[in-house]
Amino acid sequence: MDCNRCHHVESPTAGTLFHRVRFGARKAFGIVFEMSATTKGLSSSQVAKRYGISRTTAWTFMHKVRNAMKSSKGHPLTGDVQVDEFVFGGKESQKQGRSTDSKKKKIIGAVELTDEGKVKRVYFNKIGDYSSKSLSGIFDNHISADAHVLTDKWTGYVPISKRFNIEQKYSDKGGSMKQMHTIIHQLKSWLRSTYSWIHEDHIEKYLDEFSYRINRSIYKQTIFHNLILRMLNAQPITYQMIKISN
């Protein structure tokens, strides 16, 4: 847009996550729609080929979309909630349970259930270890203090139970928290089938993408509109801000 008085040229995408996008708005909207509506997921290589852009450009823009998918932390999980930790990555020999020196990505998840016992909402966080300090992050950010939280018998949850209503049961190989383990399986399957490799510094963005779609799965008609609004209201970020610092 050109100002009639000072002739300053201002882009309508300035100050948004669409700022300085290197391809047309129609392609950008197409990528946003696919990332919000599809459940199979898209890799940057697939997007680059489909929309005729470079892989780096596709990777950068997709991370901008994932940035808009990040939780506002304003709607904590309530009612019956299941919490568990797990790892994601390749196989490692002689690594069992909660190995502290494992190179696998450590993740904690929380699932809110409906009255019928079905999955309603989910959140995931990357954790550095299995200490109470690391585990408490998902409680403080995403779980209401009034929720009834079910965990396994891991001692790291004991200090947290002083602030949250936690019930601990033996895992029974996932049988005591079937909904949680079903979602974990779906998340791992999605990550493995879509992406060949995910860097430690970016795993949180992919977790946000997965959670965003699950949490709005019953709002298919508005999920795209909601995501566009989030991108318009978010501050712009650049490739330099997204890429890994060496």
Confidence at residue 2, expressed as pLDDT on a 0 to 100 scale: 46
The CB-based long-range contact list for 91-98 (8 Å cut-off, 24+ gap) reads 98/130, 98/154
Q: Compute the 3-state secondary structure of the chain and give helix, strand, coil in percent, each to the nearest 5.
A: 40, 15, 45
Confidence at residue 101, expressed as pLDDT on a 0 to 100 scale: 59
What SS3 class is residue 213?
A: helix
Q: How far apart are CA 236 and CA 163, in angstroms?
A: 37
Query: Which two tokens mark 129?
Result: 């270890």
The pLDDT tens digits along the chain (246 residues) read: 445 565 444 566 677 888 778 888 899 999 999 999 887 778 999 999 999 999 999 999 999 999 999 999 999 999 999 999 999 986 555 455 566 656 789 999 999 999 999 999 999 999 999 999 999 999 999 999 999 999 999 999 999 999 999 999 998 877 889 999 999 999 999 999 888 778 888 999 999 999 999 999 888 889 999 999 999 998 888 888 887 543
Q: What is the DSSP letter of 178?
A: H
Query: Which two tokens mark 240?
Result: 């330099």
Distance from the first to the final alpha carbon of the chain: 38
Helical (H) or strand (E) element with 37: helix 25-37
- Neighbouring C-alpha atoms within 13 Å toward the C-beta of 217: 12
Confidence at residue 19, expressed as pLDDT on a 0 to 100 scale: 79
Strands (E), the chain: 80-88, 105-113, 119-127, 148-151, 165-168
Confidence at residue 245, expressed as pLDDT on a 0 to 100 scale: 40
The neighbour count for residue 55, using CB atoms within 10 Å, is: 14
What SS3 class is residue 54?
A: coil
Confidence at residue 6, expressed as pLDDT on a 0 to 100 scale: 58
Cα-only R_g, the chain: 20
CATH numbers and ranges of domains, the chain: 1-69+218-246 (no CATH), 80-188 (3.30.420)
Concatenated DSSP letters of 5-19: TT--B--TTTTSTTT
Q: State pTM to two decimals.
A: 0.87
Residue 5, strand partner residues: none
The answer to whether the CB of 142 falls within 8 A of the CB of 153 is no
Confidence at residue 11, expressed as pLDDT on a 0 to 100 scale: 66
Q: Which residues of 183-200 are buried (b: 16+ CB within 10 A; e: fewer)?
A: bbeebeebbeeeeeebee
Query: Which two tokens mark 112?
Result: 């809110």
Query: Which two tokens mark 10?
Result: 């201002």
